[in-house]
């Protein structure tokens, strides 16, 4: 736990990842996404029994709320609001036409029990887990085959409590590849914005086989000695491209571990500041 106290790596990124055809016109894409942000229906995770005390496990509450919101998908979609508090949870999955919105003082906290992160199939293009043979732990917030999803907050926090995963990695007691904070597979039209991500077990944000993913105004933090805590790793698609819109600051870090996968790092211009 002591290592999590020293949050020395800071990554602030305003970026667009997506197909080159619309990446050339980020303004129009943003406007298009912006106009679709209104959801006619909204519920709070507390309506499904969640308790924001940092102790109660809320996986079922998140799953039940999202299951309930299925019925609004063809009615303009819905918002799941996470109010101020500390919301401990295992992995849960999103649906299409959903906004997951965190209050500025909301912290979604990943469980430190690996069994709360189910093991899923390896990615087809990897054929095995990235670190170990076989499956891999599902990300804290997972999405597959989705469209029109927004994950946002007034700089609310998603905390993976990764230190326990880094220990398992370092002492070779992992059974499966470590999970991400957010992984989206086969998805299109995703916005991740106005959030802080801390202490991911592994890479923080992993869009794979996706298109039209916008990651904007997020802060990603992890200690410098944490293994493979990359910020954003766009992956496995010929159609994905990263365009750095504004700025990126890395403070006192091992660049290859906080930033992008090696392939994509070359596309960005990096401003590195050490203190
Ligand atoms: C998701 O999309 C992929 C690729 O198109 C497809 O192979 C897979 O069967 C889909 N999964 C579901 C659950 O629809
Ligand atoms: C980024 O997020 C902060 C905190 O929520 C907010 O004050 C700021 O306006 C946002 N900037 C953009 C470009 O969205
Ligand atoms: C969001 O919160 C993080 C962590 O407290 C902070 O480092 C960052 O500057 C904040 N971002 C914005 C845009 O306010
Ligand atoms: C490995 O790390 C975990 C998590 O901190 C700890 O519970 C476990 O005892 C460690 N195992 C060994 C063999 O060091
Ligand atoms: C690995 O599997 C063993 C045996 O099932 C289990 O006791 C242990 O908790 C698992 N380790 C992790 C990190 O999940
Ligand atoms: C992000 O925050 C900015 C500033 O508060 C706001 O204008 C924008 O609408 C927010 N984005 C989303 C998707 O809520």
Q: Note the pTM of the prediction, 2 decimals.
A: 0.82
Helical ranges in the chain per DSSP H: 20-23, 26-35, 59-69, 163-170, 255-258, 262-265
Ligand index nearest the alpha carbon of residue 164: 4
Q: Does 155 contact ligand 6 (Cβ within 6 A)?
A: no
Q: In what order do the strands lie in the sheet with 205-208?
A: 92-93, 141-144, 182-185, 205-208
What is the CA(170)–ligand 4 centre distance, in A?
A: 9
Give me the residue spans of the domains in the chain: 2-19+41-268
pLDDT at residue 9, as a whole number: 29
Ligand 1 atom nearest 124 alpha carbon: 7
Of 205, 194, 201, residue with least CA distance to 233:
205
Q: Please tell me the CATH code under which domain 2-19+41-268 is placed.
A: 2.160.20.10
Pick the residue whose CA is nearest to atom 5 on ligand 3: 196
Please, are residues 62 and 94 in contact by the beta-carbon 8 Å criterion?
A: no
Per-residue pLDDT tens listing for the chain (275 residues): 323 222 222 233 333 333 233 333 333 344 444 445 789 999 999 999 999 999 999 999 999 999 999 999 999 999 999 999 999 999 999 999 999 999 999 999 999 999 999 999 888 777 777 787 889 999 999 999 999 999 999 999 999 999 999 999 999 999 999 999 999 999 988 888 889 899 999 989 888 888 888 887 788 888 878 888 877 777 654 344 343 333 333 322 333 333 433 333 333 333 222 21
CA pair distance 270, 67, nearest whole angstrom: 41
Ligand 5 atom nearest 174 alpha carbon: 13
Q: Say what the alpha-carbon torsion angle 9, 12, 18, 24 is, to the nearest 10 degrees.
A: -140
Kind plus residue range of the DSSP H or E element containing 212: strand 211-222
Q: Does 93 contact ligand 1 (Cβ within 6 A)?
A: no
């Amino acid at each position: 736990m002591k290592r999590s106290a020293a949050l020395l790596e800071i990554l602030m990124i305003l970026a667009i990842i997506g197909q080159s055809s619309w990446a050339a016109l980020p303004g129009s894409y943003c406007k298009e996404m912006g106009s679709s942000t209104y959801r006619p229906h909204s519920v709070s995770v507390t309506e499904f029994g969640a308790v924001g005390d940092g102790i109660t496990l809320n996986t079922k509450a998140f799953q039940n709320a999202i299951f309930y919101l299925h019925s609004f998908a063809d009615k303009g979609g819905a918002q799941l609001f996470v109010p101020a508090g500390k919301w401990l949870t295992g992995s849960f999955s999103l649906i299409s036409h959903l906004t997951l919105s965190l209050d500025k003082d909301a912290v979604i906290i990943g469980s430190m029990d690996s069994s709360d992160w189910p093991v899923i199939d390896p990615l087809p293009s990897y054929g095995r887990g990235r670190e170990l043979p076989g499956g891999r732990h599902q990300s804290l917030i997972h999405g597959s085959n989705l469209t029109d999803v927004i994950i946002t907050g007034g700089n609310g926090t998603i905390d993976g409590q990764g230190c326990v995963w880094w220990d398992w990695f370092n002492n070779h007691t992992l059974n499966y590849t470590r999970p991400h904070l957010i992984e989206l597979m086969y998805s299109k039209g995703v916005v991740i914005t106005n959030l802080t991500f801390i202490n991911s077990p592994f890479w923080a944000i992993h869009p794979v086989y996706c298109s039209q993913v916008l990651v904007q105004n997020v802060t990603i933090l992890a200690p410098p000695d944490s293994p493979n805590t990359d910020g954003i790793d766009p992956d496995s698609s010929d159609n994905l491209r990263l365009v750095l819109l504004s700025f990126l600051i890395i403070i006192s870090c091992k660049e290859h571990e906080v930033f992008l996968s090696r392939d994509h790092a070359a596309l960005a211009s990096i401003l590195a500041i050490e203190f």
